[in-house]
Homo-oligomer: A and B are copies of this chain.
Amino acid sequence: MVENGNLRVSLIIEEVGEFVVRKLRIVSSGSYIPKKIVTASEVDQILGLPDGRSEQMSGVQARRYVTGETTSQMAAYAIMGALEKSGLKFEDCDALIFAGATTEQPLPCTAAIVQRALGKMDSKVACFDIDSTCLSFVTAMDLAASLVDSGRYKRMIIVSSEIASVGLNKNQHEAYALFGDGAAAVIVEKTPENSTSHAFIAHMETFSEGAYTCQVAGGGTKLHARQHTRETEDQYLFHMDGRKVFRLVLEVVQGFTERMFKNTAHKLSDFNWVIPHQASGSGMELVRRKLEIPKEKYIDILANHGNMISASIPLALHQSIESGRIKRGDKVLLMGTSAGLSVGAVGIEY
């Protein structure tokens, strides 16, 4: 690379294919887990089920529920953890993405409220939200890869913070047994000269045949909060048709990975780690077997946290980095399914 006045001349040699290599490096990560633990036995009691039934359905032994913490407070704590780890200040970042499904308020975007919760009202850091439900973090990583690689932003915070517990329906045992609350964050930047970190594959597909298989119907423009009554209250809670989701995922997931890897130099077995969305015990096992991913590569934190919507994948990533399982240079695939129904993945060298 030569710089002459305000002209820069670069010689770029790259592999050609259907995939895109983008200079993205995870600087650090953080998380916030609510203190209140709700065990599978407690869920059995709440739902009036025989002891052991909810764990058997979901694979979840315990999860956390907020007791007063807000979405933005949890997000702020997760970000503070990531900042502390890296030694960076909030102002060293120029964008904050809230990537999640359960927003704190309908308006404004939750990222702005998180900036405020951090006490960084004067930081000018750009705040916006990305939502692809359970895949929101993966989508945000995918977008951030192009944004930092292109130089649009220098260093970005992505935070997923979800309060699932507020929308659970006691008549929906399967879903009730599954979900938990919490938050996780990463700081990403354009890969510096001394690092080989990058994002080397990404793919997303939406199959809206399944748009209503997981949904909260009420609370948007179609069914306003003012229409909430005893008769309609179920529509303002989470509804999941587990069997339909299962069938649709089974139908599309293998084709998805085939299309993702087509015309690329990569394959699933190249990855040191696969971090799946922690959808459910049986769902995760279904996908693992279908794609023939060895158990020891498949990161599973479901038993202790449940399905934390978009916060599951970054929490599993954070815990795996913290524990030393995932090391610099490892190839990691973040991959999941989400309401929509969507399948999405981003492959990185950490």
Q: Which residues in A have some Cβ–Cβ distance to B below 8 Å?
A: 3, 6-17, 20, 22, 70-71, 95-96, 101-113, 115-116, 120-122, 124-133, 135-136, 139, 142-143, 145-147, 149-152, 163, 166-167, 202, 204-209, 211, 214-226, 228, 233, 236, 238, 259, 265, 338-342, 344
**A107: nearest residue on chain B (CB-CB)?**
B216
Q: A166-B221, A206-B111, A226-B228 are contacts. A128–B129 as well, Cβ < 8 Å? A: no
> A322–B254 Cα gap in the complex (Å)?
44
> A15–B9 Cα gap in the complex (Å)?
9
A214 contacts B107, C-beta separation under 8 Å: yes
- Which of B107, B129, B211, B222 meets A70, CB within 8 Å? B222
> A339–B111 Cα gap in the complex (Å)?
11
How far, in Å, is A237 (CB) from chain B's closest CB?
Answer: 9
> A206–B129 Cα gap in the complex (Å)?
12
B228 contacts A121, C-beta separation under 8 Å: no
With a cutoff of 8 Å between Cβ atoms, the chain B residues found around residue A205 in the complex are: 124-126
7 pairs of A and B residues whose beta carbons are closest in the complex: A116-B208, A112-B340, A126-B204, A108-B339, A128-B132, A127-B206, A146-B146
With a cutoff of 8 Å between Cβ atoms, the chain B residues found around residue A142 in the complex are: 152
With a cutoff of 8 Å between Cβ atoms, the chain B residues found around residue A209 in the complex are: 116, 121-122
With a cutoff of 8 Å between Cβ atoms, the chain B residues found around residue A120 in the complex are: 208
Q: A7-B13, A20-B152, A112-B211 are in contact. List 16 more A-B contacts (CB 8 A).
A: A7-B14, A8-B14, A9-B13, A10-B14, A20-B151, A96-B206, A101-B106, A103-B221, A111-B340, A116-B208, A126-B344, A127-B208, A128-B130, A129-B130, A131-B131, A219-B225
Residue of A7, A11, A143, A225 with highest tally of chain B CB at under 10 A? A225
**A125: nearest residue on chain B (CB-CB)?**
B206
- Give the oligomeric copy count: 2
**A113: nearest residue on chain B (CB-CB)?**
B211
> A133–B107 Cα gap in the complex (Å)?
7
B221 contacts A104, C-beta separation under 8 Å: yes
With a cutoff of 8 Å between Cβ atoms, the chain B residues found around residue A14 in the complex are: 7-8, 10
- Which of B101, B106, B220, B342 meets A127, CB within 8 Å? B342
- Which of B8, B222, B225 meets A105, CB within 8 Å? B222
With a cutoff of 8 Å between Cβ atoms, the chain B residues found around residue A149 in the complex are: 146, 150
How far, in Å, is A117 (CB) from chain B's closest CB?
Answer: 9
B107 contacts A215, C-beta separation under 8 Å: yes
> A342–B108 Cα gap in the complex (Å)?
10
With a cutoff of 8 Å between Cβ atoms, the chain B residues found around residue A214 in the complex are: 107-108
How far, in Å, is A101 (CB) from chain B's closest CB?
Answer: 6
How far, in Å, is A34 (CB) from chain B's closest CB?
Answer: 13
With a cutoff of 8 Å between Cβ atoms, the chain B residues found around residue A222 in the complex are: 70-71, 104-105
B219 contacts A126, C-beta separation under 8 Å: no
- Which of B124, B219, B233 meets A219, CB within 8 Å? B219
B105 contacts A215, C-beta separation under 8 Å: yes
How far, in Å, is A63 (CB) from chain B's closest CB?
Answer: 16
Q: A9-B13, A112-B340, A206-B126 are contacts. A219–B106 as well, Cβ < 8 Å? A: yes
With a cutoff of 8 Å between Cβ atoms, the chain B residues found around residue A233 in the complex are: 226
10 pairs, CB–CB < 8 Å, chain A vs chain B: A9-B13, A71-B221, A103-B131, A107-B339, A109-B339, A112-B211, A128-B130, A128-B342, A150-B150, A167-B224
